[in-house]
């Protein structure tokens, strides 16, 4: 008799658990986040997660999307294409509607086809390489601008600073190489600025003195480095140690406060970089309210614009699900491509064109001041 009672209660438990699982499945909308939680870009990924955690909390506190709660499924791409492909495969098997991310272009590129084949909406937040949206992928979007736009602003900055001879250095990643080549192409077409140096370094190393010595012998007026902030920080620091006072301009991947930490304040001072407006310079009312809330929860406002752009990706996806009252990827993609117009995002108004690129919104030029702060240049 006791055994029968035990078996019955066990069955009861099982039913309860299964039932719970079923209602959970029907009642939640799963949205993925793929970001670099570890690896050299970990500070970007961890902030992306903080932004999305906050937004998910907000949406759920307001009753969810059409009465359904949102659940965030986070996978780490490690800032590495191979890890990212595995992360993408794990995400698509978990029934997510869409995925936000990721930061690096070559990482995003490794996952684009996986999501597209699984019909999962992907909204990248930091991947600016041109060719990502030139493939005709129906479910791919991005909230960040593109590198042809960035190269145009880069050329403008180079000419404005009066460089006659410029050196271009990239790091062979999809993003950095694309930006470097686009800039080179525009400069050659323009014809007034001479390119005296064009080569790539190996990211992840620590000694770049050999490269700096070679750069110095090319005697440029300025150097445009299109890679990421860990290397940019080391370059600035070692350039200072060499007592070489050439101005450096960086692409938008050098936009991270860790740059100043790595380089040291005095070596970073005077460094120019291109970027979408920083969180602190975001003008909109929505942005100000969000930044305040974020600072309230985590103690400091977000450092990286890409984390906020990830937040915008999440918000447009939520908007699309709300408006279409559906989680059908075709309907959502159609809504985002054609019907979403001038959505009030945290980083300005958002609309997508037929390729999935964000329209409007220009790059700005920033300069690091003597205190290591990023100052918007007019």
Partner 1 sequence: MEEFLQQFINGLTVGGIYALIALGYTMVYGVLKLINFAHGDLFTIGAYLGFTLLTSFGLADKIGPFAAIAVLALMVMGLVAVIGIVLERAAYRPLRNSPRLSAVVSALGASIFFQNAVMLIYGARFHVYPQNLLPKIALNVFGLYVPFVKILVLVASVAMMVGLYVFIQRTTIGAAIRAAAIDQGAAKLVGIDVNGVITLVFVIGPALGGLAGLMVGLLYGQIKFTMGWLYGLKAFTAAILGGIGNIPGAMLGGLILGVVEALGSAYISIAWKDAIAFCVLILILIVRPTGLLGERVAEKV
**Binding to partner 1 by residue 286, rule CB under 8 A?**
no
The secondary structure of residue 150, as a DSSP letter, is H
Q: Which stretch binds partner 1 (CB under 8 A): 14-22, 105-113, 241-249, 297-305?
A: 241-249
User: Cα–chain-centroid distance for residue 355?
Assistant: 18
* DSSP summary character for residue 277: P
Token pair 């992840």: residue = 204
Q: Which is nearer to partner 1, 53 or 281 (CB)?
A: 53
Tell me the number of residues near partner 1 by CB under 8 A.
Answer: 34
CA 203 to chain centre: 18
Q: Which of 199, 286, 361, 373 binds partner 1 (CB under 8 A)?
A: 199
Nearer to partner 1, 38 or 324 (CB): 38
What is the torsion angle, in degrees rounded to the nearest 10, for the CA atoms of residue 312, residue 318, residue 320 and residue 321? 160
Residue 209 within binding range of partner 1, rule CB under 8 A:
yes
Nearer to partner 1, 84 or 96 (CB): 84
Hey, which residues between 250 and 269 contact partner 1 (CB under 8 A)? 258, 261-262, 264
Q: Does 206 bind partner 1 (CB under 8 A)?
A: yes
Locate the DSSP E strands across the chain. 28-35, 69-76, 98-100, 121-124, 140-142, 165-170, 194-200, 222-225, 248-250, 272-275, 343-345, 348-350, 364-368, 374-377
CA distance 313 to 238: 37
The region, left, alpha or beta by phi > 0 then psi within -120 to 50, assigned to residue 64 is: left
Q: How far apart are CA 175 and CA 146, in angstroms?
A: 10
Residues from 124 through 183 that contact partner 1 (CB under 8 A) = 172
- The strand pair at 364-368 and 272-275 is best described as antiparallel
Which of residues 29, 137, 157, 234 is near partner 1 by CB under 8 A? 234
Residue 298 CB coordination number (10 Å):
14
What six digits make up the tokens of 150? 């960035």
* Smallest separation (angstroms) from partner 1 to the CB of 199: 5
Q: Is 204 in the site for partner 1 (CB under 8 A)?
A: yes
Please say which residue, 32 or 230, places its beta carbon nearer to partner 1.
230
- Choices 9-17, 233-241, 245-253, 286-294 (CB under 8 A): range interacting with partner 1: 233-241
Of the candidates 13, 17, 22, 210, which one interacts with partner 1 according to CB under 8 A? 210
Q: 337 Cβ partners below 8 Å, 6+ apart? A: 352, 353, 354, 356
Tell which one of 85, 118, 195, 242 touches partner 1 (CB under 8 A).
242
Find, among 107, 28, 104, the residue nearest to 73 by Cα: 28
Residue 31 or 37: the one with the smaller Cβ distance to partner 1 is 37
By CB under 8 A, is residue 202 in contact with partner 1?
A: yes
For residue 245, the minimal CB distance to partner 1 (Å) is 13
Smallest gap from residue 168 Cβ to partner 1 (A)? 12
DSSP characters over 115-128: HHHTT-EEEESS--
User: Which string of x and - marks every residue 2-41 that binds partner 1 (by CB under 8 A)?
Assistant: -----------------------------------xxxx-
Is residue 50 within the footprint of partner 1 (CB under 8 A)?
no
Among residues 43 and 102, whose Cβ is nearest to partner 1? 43
Q: How far, in Å, are 66, 314, 317, 341, 356 from residue 325 at the CA level? A: 7, 16, 12, 18, 21
Residues near partner 1 (CB under 8 A): 37-40, 42-43, 46, 172, 199-202, 204-207, 209-211, 213-214, 217, 230, 233-234, 237-238, 241-243, 258, 261-262, 264
């Amino acid at each position: 008799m006791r055994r029968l009672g035990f078996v019955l209660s066990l069955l009861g438990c099982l039913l309860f658990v299964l039932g719970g699982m079923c209602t959970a499945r029907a009642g939640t909308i799963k949205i993925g986040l793929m970001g670099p939680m570890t690896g050299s870009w970990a500070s970007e990924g961890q902030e992306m997660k903080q932004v999305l955690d906050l937004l998910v909390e907000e949406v759920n506190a307001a009753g969810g999307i059409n009465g359904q709660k949102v659940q965030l499924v986070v996978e780490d791409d490690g800032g590495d294409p191979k890890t990212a492909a595995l992360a993408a495969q794990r995400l698509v098997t978990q029934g997510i509607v869409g995925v936000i991310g990721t930061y690096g272009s070559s990482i995003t590129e490794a996952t684009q086809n996986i999501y597209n084949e699984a019909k999962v909406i992907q909204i990248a937040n930091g991947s600016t390489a041109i060719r990502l949206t030139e493939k005709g992928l129906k479910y791919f979007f991005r909230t960040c601008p593109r590198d042809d736009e960035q190269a145009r602003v880069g050329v403008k900055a180079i000419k404005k600073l009066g460089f006659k001879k410029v050196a271009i250095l990239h790091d062979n990643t999809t993003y950095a190489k694309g930006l470097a080549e686009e800039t080179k192409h525009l400069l050659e077409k323009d014809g007034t600025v001479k390119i005296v140096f064009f080569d790539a370094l190996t990211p992840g190393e620590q000694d770049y003195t050999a490269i700096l010595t070679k750069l110095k012998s090319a005697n440029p007026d300025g150097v445009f480095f299109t890679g990421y902030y860990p290397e940019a920080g080391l370059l600035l620091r070692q350039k200072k140690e060499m007592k070489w006072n050439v101005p450096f301009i960086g692409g938008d991947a050098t936009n991270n406060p860790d740059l100043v930490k790595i380089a040291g304040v005095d070596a970073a001072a005077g460094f120019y970089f291109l970027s979408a407006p920083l969180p602190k310079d975001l003008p909109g009312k929505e942005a100000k309210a969000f930044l305040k809330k974020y600072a309230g929860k985590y103690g400091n406002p977000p450092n990286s614009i890409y984390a906020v752009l990830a937040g915008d990706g999440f918000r447009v996806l939520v908007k699309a699900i709300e408006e279409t009252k559906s989680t059908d990827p075709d309907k959502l993609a159609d809504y985002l491509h054609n019907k979403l117009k001038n959505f009030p995002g945290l980083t300005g108004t958002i609309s997508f064109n037929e390729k999935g690129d964000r329209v409007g919104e220009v790059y700005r030029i920033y300069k690091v001041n003597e205190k290591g702060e990023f100052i918007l240049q007019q």
